[in-house]
Each structure stands twice: as C-alpha cells, then as structure tokens.
Amino acid sequence: MIKKELAVAALKNGTVIDHIPSESLFKVVSMLGIKNLTSSVTIGFNLDSEHMGKKGILKMADVTFPQETLNRIAVIAPTAIINVIKDYEVVSKHKVVVPEELNNIVKCNNPKCISNNEPMRTRFHVIDRENIVLRCHHCECTVHQNEIVLK
Amino acid sequence: MTKSLVSISDLSKEEILALLEKAGEFEKQPNQRLLEGKVVATLFFEPSTRTRLSFETAVNRLGGRVIGFSDAKTSSQSKGETLKDTIMMVSNYADLIVMRHYLEGAARYASEISPVPIINAGDGANQHPSQTMLDLYSIYKTQGRLTDLTITMVGDLKYGRTVHSLLEAMQYFNPTFNFVACDELKMPDQYKRFCDKLGIKYTETTEFSEDIINQTDILYMTRVQRERFSDLMEYERVKSIYTLRASMLENSKDTLKVLHPLPRITEIDQDVDDSPKAYYFQQAQNGLYARQAIICRALGIKG
C-alpha cells in the first residue's frame, strides 16, 4: 500500500504516462527528452500491475506534450495511457494512438539503407497498427515492434 | 508534368499499360528525336554496364545527350561528398537523372531532394523498376496479353528482387504463380501474404518438375548465387536441381517463353538457347524500348 502511494503521489500540474511496458520505459524517457526537463520527474520502473505484470510510469510536473509527440510513444508502448493533470484533477485521460507515419523517430535496421549512410531524416510508414509493423519509406524494409531502434 | 520512377509500386495499372503501349511504338520506330536539346545524366555509383548502356542507348536513339559517370570512384563521392550534394550539383546540368546506387533507398531519397525527375536504375537489393517494365513488356509481347497467365518462378526467390517486383506488378492481371525454389531460397512470407490478400493464386514447391513446366506460360528463371549458401555442397546440389534443360521443354505449351533477367550462369543449359521458347536475349533487347518509354514519361514527353 505504501508502495502504491509513493508511485502515484499527487501531482499539481503536469502529465502522467501510465501503463508503459517496463521494457520500453527508458526508450520513452529518451524519446520525450526527459533528461532535459528542469521540473520534477518521477520515473517508476517495474511496478506491479494487475494487467501487465510489470509496468513503468512517468510523472512529469508542469509539462504537457503536443499530441503528436505523445503518439510517437505508441510505437514502442502501445498500451500507454496519458493523463493530463490540472490542479490535482485529471482533466484528460486517453490511450496513445499509433500515427500513420513516423518522421525521424526510428532508425532503419538495414545497414545498407541510405538513411544510415547520409545525414538525413528517417521516415517510416506504419503498415500494421495492431502488431506495430513499420516500413522504411526509403529502403522499403519492414521493422517489427521488437526490432525498433530509436534514432 | 515530370515524374520520377523509383519503385514499380509507383505505377498504377493504367500507367503500366500506357508504358507498354509506348514501348511498342518505340520497338516499331526506335529512332525518334523526342529528346532534342535534353541532357540526361546517368549516375552509376555502382557499375552496371548492361543497364547503363541500355539507358544511354535509349537517350541517344531519342536524340538526347548523355553526361555522367559509370563508377563512384570517378565521382566526388570518393572525396566524401554526400548523395544530396551530388544530386543537387548534377540537377543544375541535366533535365533527368538516371541513377544506380549500392545503397537501398538512395533513389527514393534523391527523388525527394532533386528538382529534376529521377529514374531508379537499381538501388542495392531493393528496386529496379525498368527491369520489371521490360519483363512485363516481354510477357505482353510474347503472349499478346498480361491477363490470366501462369508464371513459374524458379531459383532464388528469396533475394531475387526481379521476381518480387514482377509479382507486385502482375497483381492487376489475375496471374497464377508457381514458386519453385529450395527451402533456403523460397519466396518470403511477405510476398505470399501479398498474394493471399489480393486473392492471387499460387503454388509452392521445391521440385522443378516437367509437370509444372507444362502448365506454364512464362518460365521465369533466376540465378542462384553461391554467396547465399554457407554450405557449398548444398549450393552445388541446388544449382543442378534448378537447371533448365531443353529436354524439359518437350511437352510444354507452344507459346511458353523462358525469361531470365541475365546474367545467366548455369541455371539455363546452353542447349535451351536454340529453342524457339528461349526468350532471354530478346528480353534484354526489349529493355531499350521499355526504357525509352520510361524516359519519356519521366520528362512528360508525349511524342
């Protein structure tokens, strides 16, 4: 019980991202650029979850993210739930949505892809939203969820 | 309107048919001065003499001029120049860029940054759409149609980009495919799923039998490459199983044609060359007409 209270200690304003698969937590941390934040951030790792076994949670005070940024998380953490907090109240709560296209988020796994050999942005199409399968816009190779490497 | 051609999937059914019709016109009259005053750059970051000569002949026969290089060693790339800079520089001089690159996706990227259209003449193991167009033209010309044909693909169906692109391009024409390959080189699942999704009929077997050949309209042979095998004994075994000999064609359809993207090594025995069903040399010649059509489309020349 104590553990639970610690994990979800109240936040006055900010964003809470819950139900992140533990194995994706630190990828999400890096994707959101959390190490550059100056406000307080709580990172919960390997917390017990009824549905997921183990989960991760991120609580970030005084920040909100554009929807587009949050949707990028969906690629590595499709179960994530975004809570926006204002004055201790949850003012919005929703699941992340897998975008149709990912711009400069994911690295291509093909070493012979032009995007790994030229200073340029990567671009991927999400060709299977359910199982998260991506196709590189340039070399046309497919990348499955468990193979995703962030740029 | 100018249009790049990077991947066969860039073309709709109508565009494919229009290109085939145009190729037919060029076969009747290959010398037409449609590119008068135009400069076409052929940038071959990876050598491919066959493809380059075919493109350059196409430009020359249309009255255009060619600039370019046939090996990256002679370009500024060897000094560390990015592809982007090379493309931007060349686009100052040329109306169209035909490029072959050893990296996959290079042509797509070039088409995004280039102010002039790009024709992909091969990007690594990825796409080679002019090869697919000449395959389609060869099928169309020899069979009189593209619809309702049985196409048997033999050899390296795993890494062979020509079979993958042909399979994708045939989706509009109700084909039946037979995939003949050893387990190591069989058709990847993603292409079988592609067929399933579109209701395209196919069979898959490791046996290269006369039974299959006798049902076939187009026998598409491919090269089995030694470097695909870690076990050289296995390579030797596979190589001899998937070799076509003239005797195997005895009871095949009169209209059957044997295609091969070339270069051929041993997968088609020399004794097939004399058969009227052998079509691989004419197939290569059709590349000229297909490329003339592709160049005109790229430059928006109706002609």
- Residue B33 is a catalytic residue: no
pLDDT at B28: 97
Separation in Å, CA of A80 to nearest CA in chain B = 29
What's the CA gap between B3 and B96, in Å, rounded? 10
pLDDT at A40: 92
DSSP string computed for B146-202: STT-EEEEES-TTT-HHHHHHHHHGGGG--EEEEE--GGGPPPHHHHHHHHHHT-EE
B174 and B258 housed in the same domain: yes
B85–A contact, CB cutoff 8 A? no
A111–B contact, CB cutoff 8 A? no
- ipTM of the complex as predicted: 0.88
Residues 6 or more apart in contact with residue A5 via CB below 8 angstroms? none
CATH of the domain at B62: 3.40.50.1370
Tell me which residue range forms the domain holding B40. 31-127
pLDDT at B76: 67
Sheet holding B39-44, edge to edge: B65-69, B39-44, B96-101, B118-123
B259 and B140 housed in the same domain: yes
Number of domains chain B is built from: 2
pLDDT at B303: 67
What's the CA gap between B122 and B11, in Å, rounded? 16
Q: Note the pTM of the prediction, 2 decimals.
A: 0.87
Residue B4 lies in a domain: no
Mean pLDDT in residue range A57-65: 94
Structure tokens at B14: 């109508």
Report CB contact under 8 Å: A114, B101.
yes
pLDDT at A150: 86
B150 and B227 housed in the same domain: yes
pLDDT band of residue A50 (cuts 50, 70, 90) is: confident
Report CB contact under 8 Å: B109, A120.
yes
Report CB contact under 8 Å: A119, B108.
no
Catalytic residue among B38, B100, B223, B264: B100
Report CB contact under 8 Å: A112, B104.
yes
What's the CA gap between B203 and B209, in Å, rounded? 13
**Cβ within 8 Å of A, B 245-264:** none
- Residue A70's nearest CA partner among A17, A134, A144, A136 is A17
Chain A residue with minimum CA distance to B109 = A138
Separation in Å, CA of B6 to nearest CA in chain A = 10
The 3-class secondary structure across B4-62, one letter per residue, is CECCHHHCCHHHHHHHHHHHHHHHHCCCCCCCCCCEEEEEECCCCHHHHHHHHHHHHHC
> What are the beta bridge partners of residue A133?
A128, A144
pLDDT band of residue A9 (cuts 50, 70, 90) is: low
Separation in Å, CA of B164 to nearest CA in chain A = 12
Phi and psi angles of residue B226, each rounded to the nearest 5 degrees, phi first: -55, -40
B138 and B280 housed in the same domain: yes
- Residue B51 is a catalytic residue: yes
Mean pLDDT in residue range A6-29: 86
pLDDT at A8: 53
Residue B93 lies in a domain: yes
Catalytic residue among B38, B128, B239, B257: B128
Domains of chain A from N-terminus onward: 2-95 (3.30.70.140), 101-150 (2.30.30.20)
For the cut 70, the answer to whether the pLDDT of residue A4 exceeds it is no
Domain boundary among B127, B146, B166: B127
DSSP string computed for B244-287: B-GGGGTTS-TT-EEE--S--SSSB-GGGTTSTTB-HHHHHHHH
pLDDT at A21: 94
**Cβ within 8 Å of A, B 120-159:** 123-127
Residue B57 lies in a domain: yes
B144 and B264 housed in the same domain: yes
Positions in chain B whose pLDDT score sits under 70: 1-2, 76, 303
B139 and B278 housed in the same domain: yes
What's the CA gap between B108 and B111, in Å, rounded? 5
Residues in chain A within 8 Å Cβ distance of B105 = 108, 113-115, 136-140
B78–A contact, CB cutoff 8 A? no
A141–B contact, CB cutoff 8 A? yes
What's the CA gap between B278 and B170, in Å, rounded? 21
Residue B186, amino acid: K
Report CB contact under 8 Å: B127, A138.
no
What's the CA gap between B71 and B101, in Å, rounded? 10
Specify the range with the lowest mean pLDDT, choosing from A4-8, A60-64, B44-48. A4-8
Report CB contact under 8 Å: A113, B83.
no
Chain B residue with minimum CA distance to A119 = B82
pLDDT at B5: 98
Mean pLDDT in residue range A72-93: 91
pLDDT at A7: 46
B274 and B175 housed in the same domain: yes
Report CB contact under 8 Å: A137, B125.
no
> What are the beta bridge partners of residue A135?
A125, A142
pLDDT at B230: 85
pLDDT at A146: 87
H or E element at residue B120: strand B118-123
Report CB contact under 8 Å: A112, B106.
no
Domain boundary among B82, B111, B127: B127
What's the CA gap between A28 and A74, in Å, rounded? 9
Residue B17 lies in a domain: no
Report CB contact under 8 Å: B105, A119.
no
Phi and psi angles of residue B43, each rounded to the nearest 5 degrees, phi first: -105, 105
A131–B contact, CB cutoff 8 A? no
For the cut 50, the answer to whether the pLDDT of residue A1 exceeds it is no
- Residue B162 is a catalytic residue: no
B82 and B215 housed in the same domain: no
Residues in chain A within 8 Å Cβ distance of B104 = 110, 112-114, 138-141
Separation in Å, CA of A76 to nearest CA in chain B = 22
Report CB contact under 8 Å: B103, A117.
yes
Residues in chain A within 8 Å Cβ distance of B102 = 112
Dihedral sign (CA B145, B148, B149, B152) = positive
What's the CA gap between A36 and A55, in Å, rounded? 23
Residue B8 lies in a domain: no
